[in-house]
Structure formats: C-alpha cells, structure tokens
Amino acid sequence: MIGQIRNDGLKKKGLKIMGHMKGKLLFQFHRGDSWQAAEHCFVDLSDTYKRMPFSEHHLEILSKSRVAIFGVGSGGSGLADRLVRAGVAGFELIDPDRLSVENISRHLCDLTDLGRYKVKAVRDRILLVNPNARVRTYAYDVFKRPNALEQIISSANLIIGATDDAPTQLRINWFSAKRCIPALFPSCYELAKGGEILYTVGRKTNICLECWMGRDDKPEVKGKMDYSTAQSLRDYKGEPALYAAISFITDVAAQYAIALLLRKEDCELARLIDLKRNLLLIGGALGEGYYFFKKPFHFITPIIKEPWKECTTCQVFRSLDAEASARQKKKR
C-alpha cells in the first residue's frame, strides 16, 4: 500500500502531519492552532501491473530481473521508464553526467531535475512508478573502479549499452561476452533518421558489437559531440533530433530488452530473439533514401553469417570456447 499527500503548506517550516484511522485513512496537518484535512490518495500497488500481457510467472521473472543501463541520456532514460512500466524492478544506472537545460527536450526528466545527476533523477522517476524497485546508481566512471564494475556485471541479467561513446560501448560488449550475459546496444543515426539495435546472448549470436562496428559499410554519424562540455547555449552544437524520433528507436529496443529477459520462457515476445539475426536496422520517418532504407519506417533484419575476421572479442572468447569443448570431448 502507498499513500500520497499533497499540500503546499506541508513544505513550510514547523508544520506537523498526522495519519490516523476512523473507518478510513485520514491525513491532517497542523497550521496555527487547528488541524486541517490534507488532500491524499490511497492505492494498492499490487494492481500496478494488472494490465500487462504477461502471466504471473513472467511478471515474477521480470520483477526479479536486474538490468544494468550504461548511459541514462535520451535513450537510456527512456528505456528505464519503459522497463519499469513493464514490470522490471531491478536497475543499475551508470552515468557520470548531470542534467542540463539542453537535455530537457529529449529526456525522461524535466526542469525540476536541472543540475542533478542523471542517474539520481531517473532513479526517482523509476520509484514513482514502482516504489519497491531496487535501484542502485553510479554517478562516476565505473570502469575506473573495478569493485563497482564487478558488482554491476555480476548482478545483471541484462546489460544495456546506451552511451554515445564507442570505446565505452566496446568495453561493455567485451564484459558481457566474457561473463556470457545478454546485452543490448541501441543507437540512433544522424538526425535520428534511423537507428539500429544489436543484441548478444552470451557468445551464441553470430556477431557482437565489435564485429558490427568494425564494418566499413555503416552510415557515418556526423556532428556528434559530448553535450556535457557545453558551457552555454552558444556553445551547444549537439546533433539535433526529435524526441519522438529517438523514442521510436527506444520503444523497439525496450521490447527486445524484455524479450531477452524472457527468452527462455514460452512467451510470444520472447520469439523476437533470433540468434542468427541479432541485428535490426530501423528507418525512421525521415529515413527514406538514407542508408539501406527505401521508405519511412523501414525495418531490416540482415543475416550476418560469421563474425568480423578482425574482431578481438570473438577471437578471444570463441577460441576459449573451442578449447573448453575440446577438453570436454577428451574427458568423454
């Protein structure tokens, strides 16, 4: 059960609040010499997910799952919001940046969160949907703190790389492959004309993120910059994009994230996961004629049959897998 009390006067110094039962739950606040009723509502949290298209068993799996989201900007914050509304209750949020005014037009949070660490602001939004959610936040570079990184990786059922930094994305790819943890990598192209979603399931999928990033036939992302370096509106030259266009990619990515968490279950959404087609290219409203897209809202699921020959991630871990398989055969 959770209650909500709303009254501007409650924020003033020296006021007292009292909750009591007289047939129903009542709240009053003390102002001057008298007690006055406070506006409130009272709900049963068990009703939150009644309209989800999942069985109780699937909701239990989602509730017990923990998702690590590296980067809670426009895409990462949107994913956190969609996942908690789907029933996911465990989160690791990693992002050292603070929320600036330029973020507001395409971020889950709003002007009331200006100056706050993004992870703290997004955590509070998660808890407004599910106060029982388990959320840990990391407002620093976890790759420089091995203990924190180990805590994140070891507890995660799914890792999401939602940063705009290629080296960081590749490190996330490496750790997910090393620990055989499913990972999801959503990203947008310039102006959010389209985007892509790549996922890995341990080391079972045909390609990893390094394989895909190493190819030379990908579209160039122009005008990318670190938004946190902008000191004023005059300095801000980030790549423009509609939040709706970014959310279009995020909405698809969130459903793949849920599918990865339920991939072992008899669930219709879990059928999205295809180990031979683990890459989705998405053309947006402005995607016609851009990259491979021939029309607006064009979806392409290419088959890439083998890893990139120069992929260090696949070379290392597939070699280890082959050695382990050979040892097992000798024991038999």
pLDDT digits (tens, 9 = 90+) for 232-241: 334 334 467 8
Residues 74-91: tens digit of each pLDDT = 999 999 999 999 999 999
Work out the pLDDT band at 21, boundaries 50, 70, 90. Answer: low
Cα–Cα dist 74/163, whole Å: 10
122 with 77: CB under 8 angstroms? Answer: yes
Q: What is the pLDDT of residue 22?
A: 54
Q: How many C-beta atoms surround the C-beta of residue 148 within 10 A?
A: 17
Alpha helices in 179-281 (DSSP H): 209-213, 243-261
CA atoms of 320 and 31, how far apart (whole Å)? 70
How high is the pLDDT of residue 232?
38
Q: Which residues contact 29 (CB under 8 A, 6 or more apart)?
A: 7, 9, 10, 15, 16, 17, 18, 35, 36, 38
Model-wide pTM > 0.75: yes
Compute the CA torsion angle 151, 152, 153, 155 (nearest 10 deg): 80
Beta bridge partners of 92: 68, 136
Is 298 within 8 Å of 283 (Cβ atoms)? yes
Euclidean distance between CA atoms 86 and 78, whole angstroms: 12
Q: Are 59 and 85 in contact (CB under 8 A)?
A: no
- Mark out the alpha helices in the chain (DSSP H runs): 56-64, 74-86, 118-129, 146-155, 166-178, 209-213, 243-261, 312-331
Rounded to whole angstroms, the Cα distance separating 302 from 308 reads: 15
Domains in the chain: ranges and CATH: 2-43 (no CATH), 56-219+237-316 (3.40.50.720)
22-26, 259-263, 289-293, 307-311 — which one is most confidently predicted on average? 259-263
